[in-house]
Structures are given as C-alpha cells and as structure tokens.
C-alpha cells in the first residue's frame, strides 16, 4: 500500500508531460507543478490517484481540483514573482502551494476551519511561509490587504463577486468558474483603468461558492 513518504517523482513527471500535451505552456507553472508533492494534499485512501487527471474528494465535502484545472487556472493568472494573490477557497492547500511558489504573497480564505488548519499544517511542513490564511466568507475578499494582482476563485459562482472585482489591482486578473450549480465556464476577467475585459477558457465543474456574493 502506498504511503505519503513514497517516491512519487515519476508520477509527477508523467503529470507534467500530460499537462504539456493539454497545451499548458507556462514553463514556470509546469516547473512548480513538477516540484510540489500533490500526494501530501490528498486523503490517504486516494494516494494511488494523487496524480490522475481528475478531482478527488477531501474533507468537509470539498474537492482537490484535477491537475489540469489547477495548471490552467494558474496559467491564466500570469503571475510574476512580485505579485500579490488572493485565493478564494483554500481547500486542501495544493493550489495555494502552487501560487505561493510563483508569487510574492498569497492570501487565502476558507470557510471550513478544519480544512484551513490542515492545509496550513501541510504548507508549513513543506516550508512554504508566504501564505496568509483566514477563515470566513471568501466572496467578501480581504479588502484590508488588497489590491491584488491576481484573484483565483476555486468554487463555482453565479457571477463575479462584486467585492473581488473591487479588490483587483489595475492590470490584475480574476480567474473564476461561472455558471449554474451543475456546469460552469472558466473565465478570466482583466482590469485596465477601471475597464474590464473578459475571455472564456474552458468548461468545468466545481463545488458551489457559498457566501453573501455566491450561492446561499
């Protein structure tokens, strides 16, 4: 039976090759995804599927997104080393870890206290220290620490939460899956001098974004 201390390096290499075939082009994103141990963020029972290209269940009825979706959303943010990022939905902490390796600071919000604590434990064990986590309604964002160069929403919403648009820096990107409860489209919203432009990336399916500016 596989354990979290097993060597998963070959599985990571295979995952990165698959991401390349699926048109992920950002070399910084690919490099980091080849380094972060995804197996540390999944449930023990799912270790054999840690690098399969599909979502997996985690605690509190949430999921860890499939590797392709993590890579695609991260690539859409177009992060640089000096950027400040806001993540809505810490979840397992895997996406958080990817962001933390690509940006200067990551602020992350999770509504489930247990998930947040567990994610922080794993991030700490991996030596990732540029993450600032809080528990609360992610649809409200964290205005005290904004504006943000990138905002990523890791749950499906009916529309962009208005507070998140307001907390986006000039030139910043907001990446979110928007649609109904069963089907969403991954979208990228870019802000330029108070003017917003939008593009569609791909179809997707996420758990609901719960909060004042999401689903009740």
- Asked if 28 and 78 touch (Cβ cutoff 8 Å), the reply is no
Using the CB atoms, write b or e for 22-55: b if 16+ within 10 Å. Answer: eebebeebbebbeebbbbbbbeeeebeebbeeeb
Cα(20)–Cα(30) distance, integer angstroms = 8
**Distance of alpha carbon 26 from alpha carbon 72, whole angstroms:** 9
Cα 91 to Cα 55: distance, rounded to the nearest angstrom: 12
Cβ pair 65, 58 in contact under 8 A? no
Question: How far is it, in rounded angstroms, from Cα 216 to Cα 211?
Answer: 6
Out of 23, 65, 92, 116, the active site residue is 65
Beta bridge partners of 198: 189
Mark whether 23 is an active-site residue. no
Find the angle CA(128)-CA(33)-CA(135) to the nearest 5 degrees: 45
Structure tokens at 156: 């499906």
- Catalytic residues, by residue number, are 65
């Amino acid at each position: 039976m596989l354990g979290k201390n097993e060597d998963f390096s070959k599985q990571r290499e295979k995952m990165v090759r698959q991401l390349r075939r699926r048109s992920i082009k950002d070399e910084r994103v690919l490099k980091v995804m080849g380094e972060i141990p995804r197996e540390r963020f999944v449930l023990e029972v799912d270790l054999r599927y840690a690098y399969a290209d599909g979502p997996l269940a985690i605690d509190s009825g949430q999921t860890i997104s499939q590797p392709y979706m993590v890579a695609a959303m991260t690539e859409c943010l177009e992060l640089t080393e000096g950027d400040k990022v806001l993540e809505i939905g810490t979840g397992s902490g895997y996406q958080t870890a990817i962001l933390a390796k690509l940006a200067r600071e990551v602020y992350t919000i999770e509504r489930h206290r247990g998930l947040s604590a567990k994610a922080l434990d794993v991030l700490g064990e991996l030596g990732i220290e540029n993450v600032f986590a809080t528990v609360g309604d992610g649809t409200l964002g964290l205005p005290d620490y904004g504006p943000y160069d990138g905002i990523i929403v890791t749950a499906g919403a009916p529309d962009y939460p208005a507070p998140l648009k307001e907390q986006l820096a000039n030139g910043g990107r907001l990446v979110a899956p928007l649609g109904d409860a069963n089907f969403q489209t991954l979208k990228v919203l870019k802000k330029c001098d108070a003017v917003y432009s939008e593009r569609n990336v791909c179809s997707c399916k996420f758990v609901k974004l719960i909060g004042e500016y999401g689903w009740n």
